């Protein structure tokens, strides 16, 4: 773990600047895992051209499976044991109604698109689906399918050397699949996300190097001289100068640290997002950290191409309506603040925002006033990315059991994200460890209504 001494400045979730500067993800040692120099080396090897205009995606995972019929398609004609407690409210777009817990989204509906008929999910609590479009078990023998962020890192690389292309903000959860950051799969660990508060990919300690001395490259090099270096089979240390210099750039530029430091943000913008507290219904899942969405915007503005995060714990087997009354308004505030913020900064047209969970919830309310797993249909909320918004796509039957109009496969949404990023999912492939070219998903036709 790389430890850099410096003053304490609080981050959004109680982390300090000193905590952030324990940057395991920027490790350069040869001890276990892969350091940033290896990531940069692999990215530099990519021959794919970089786009002149940065495009990005912010992937908000609603871990546990949100109840589709209590968010975006209230079933007013269903019997009481199906319908639930919520009423629909009108939105800015005539003819579109959504759940009462989302008045801010309703007022900005022209900036959003809702898909009410998502199919292709599996009954498994795992963010892997929303990060890649695939079940975790697919191609597991060769490492599994790579996530959207890892493919972006491979195909497009970093915008600049001092900013990782793929950053995961999801905090660790007891049920680890609910904090899935996005796996590199068969692309290998060089394309895993940078996790600013996660365990480092290797251990490195530069004793005695303070923040004031970070700008002095000689001090960093002198600190490296004190490291105990051991050879490793990957040959990472051989010829590491150029990539170490790029890794040092992450530290010395301060750009990444600044993006993660909310003390540098306008307090009025911070207040607009809210903090998502208190963290109710969290249990073994993710907290409702509204400021993670603000940090996601700051990271995109700094040059990150893909940001993933996990928001809340939506596994509502009991007290489904209490959970939605708690999580819904918090999400409503955070997502609308994000979209407004991106729009005001001229980033909404090039930044795709997707908000979704791994599946939906059962139509019938159980004895604990909850809804159980339901993989036959789910939902998604999208914004930005140059998409045609102000629409609701698809619908379910009267009881919310299955799609009756315009079913949309989960991989079509993933394909839409790639298309928004300027990557053609119909023609672009990555090579697996066997040397076989692989398409990103099987269902490669984007959602045409959004184009």
Tens digit of each residue's pLDDT (9 = 90 or more) over 121-146: 999 998 999 999 999 999 999 999 99
| Reported confidence tier of residue 398, pLDDT bands at 50, 70, 90 | very high
Tens digit of each residue's pLDDT (9 = 90 or more) over 7-33: 444 444 444 444 444 444 444 333 333
Per-residue pLDDT, 240: 44
Say if residue 220's pLDDT is above 60. Answer: no
Say if residue 211's pLDDT is above 70. Answer: no
Q: 202 versus 254: which is more confidently predicted?
A: 254
Euclidean distance between CA atoms 26 and 253, whole angstroms: 13
Taking residues 326-332, report their average pLDDT. Answer: 98
Tens digit of each residue's pLDDT (9 = 90 or more) over 255-310: 888 898 899 999 999 999 999 999 999 999 999 999 999 999 999 999 999 999 99
Euclidean distance between CA atoms 215 and 217, whole angstroms: 6
Euclidean distance between CA atoms 148 and 38, whole angstroms: 20
Say if residue 119's pLDDT is above 70. Answer: yes
Would you list the domain boundaries of the chain? Answer: 51-196+263-450
Say if residue 448's pLDDT is above 80. Answer: yes
| Reported confidence tier of residue 201, pLDDT bands at 50, 70, 90 | very low
Instruction: Report the percentage of the chain scoring pLDDT > 90.
Output: 70
Between the alpha carbon of residue 187 and those of residues 150, 309, 320, the distances in Å are 8, 21, 39
Average model confidence (pLDDT) across the chain: 84
Decide yes or no: CATH 3.40.605.10 for domain 51-196+263-450: no
| Reported confidence tier of residue 243, pLDDT bands at 50, 70, 90 | very low
Per-residue pLDDT, 254: 77
Per-residue pLDDT, 255: 85
Tens digit of each residue's pLDDT (9 = 90 or more) over 357-371: 999 999 999 999 999
| Reported confidence tier of residue 44, pLDDT bands at 50, 70, 90 | low
Say if residue 245's pLDDT is above 70. Answer: no
Between the alpha carbon of residue 206 and those of residues 19, 219, 241, 258, 260, the distances in Å are 15, 10, 17, 21, 22
Please enumerate in sequence order all residues whose Cβ is within 8 A of that of 95, keeping only pairs 6 or more positions apart, or say none: none
Instruction: Report the percentage of the chain scoring pLDDT > 70.
Output: 76
Provide DSSP, 327-359.
HHHHHHHHHHHHHHHHHHTT-GGGEEEEEE-S-
Say if residue 199's pLDDT is above 50. Answer: no
Tens digit of each residue's pLDDT (9 = 90 or more) over 142-171: 999 999 999 999 999 999 888 999 999 988
Q: 225 versus 372: which is more confidently predicted?
A: 372
């Amino acid at each position: 773990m790389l430890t850099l001494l410096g003053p304490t400045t609080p981050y959004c979730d109680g982390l300090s600047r000193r905590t952030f500067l324990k940057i395991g993800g920027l490790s350069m040692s040869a001890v276990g895992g892969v350091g940033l120099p290896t990531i940069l080396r692999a990215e530099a090897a990519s021959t794919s051209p970089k786009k002149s205009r940065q495009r990005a995606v912010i992937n908000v995972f609603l871990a546990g499976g949100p109840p589709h019929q209590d968010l975006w398609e209230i079933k007013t004609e269903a019997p009481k044991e199906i319908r639930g407690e919520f009423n629909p409210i009108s939105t800015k777009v005539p003819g579109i109604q959504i759940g009462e817990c989302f008045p801010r989204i309703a007022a900005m509906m022209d900036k959003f698109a809702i898909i009410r008929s998502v199919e292709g999910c599996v009954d498994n609590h795992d963010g892997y689906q929303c990060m890649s479009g695939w079940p975790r078990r697919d191609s597991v023998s060769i490492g599994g399918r790579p996530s959207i962020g890892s493919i972006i890192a491979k195909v497009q690389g970093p915008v600049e050397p001092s900013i990782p292309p793929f950053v995961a903000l999801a905090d660790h959860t007891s049920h680890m699949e609910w904090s899935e950051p996005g796996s590199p799969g068969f692309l290998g660990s060089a394309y895993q996300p940078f996790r600013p508060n996660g365990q480092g990919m290797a251990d490195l300690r530069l004793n005695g190097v303070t923040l004031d001395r970070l700008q002095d490259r000689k001090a960093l090099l002198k600190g490296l001289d004190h490291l105990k270096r051991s050879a490793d089979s990957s040959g990472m240390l051989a010829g590491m100068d150029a990539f170490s210099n790029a890794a040092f750039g992450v530290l010395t530029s301060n750009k990444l640290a600044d993006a993660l430091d909310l003390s540098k943000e306008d307090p009025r913008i911070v207040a607009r997002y809210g903090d998502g507290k208190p963290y109710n219904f969290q249990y073994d899942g993710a907290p409702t950290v509204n400021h993670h969405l603000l940090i996601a915007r700051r990271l995109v503005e700094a040059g990150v191409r893909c940001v993933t995060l996990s928001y809340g714990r939506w596994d509502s087997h009991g007290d489904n309506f209490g959970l939605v009354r708690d999580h819904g308004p918090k999400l409503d505030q955070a997502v609308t603040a994000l979209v407004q913020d991106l729009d005001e900064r001229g980033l909404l047209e090039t930044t795709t925002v997707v908000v979704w969970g791994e599946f939906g919830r059962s139509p019938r309310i159980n004895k604990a006033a909850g809804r159980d797993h339901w993989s036959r249909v789910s939902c998604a909320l999208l914004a930005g990315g140059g998409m045609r918004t102000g629409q609701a796509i698809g619908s379910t039957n009267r009881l919310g059991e299955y799609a009756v109009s315009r079913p949309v496969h989960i991989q079509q949404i993933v394909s839409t994200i790639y298309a928004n990023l300027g990557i053609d999912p119909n023609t672009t492939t990555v090579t697996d460890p066997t040397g076989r070219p692989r398409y990103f998903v099987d269902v490669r036709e984007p959602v045409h209504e959004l184009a």
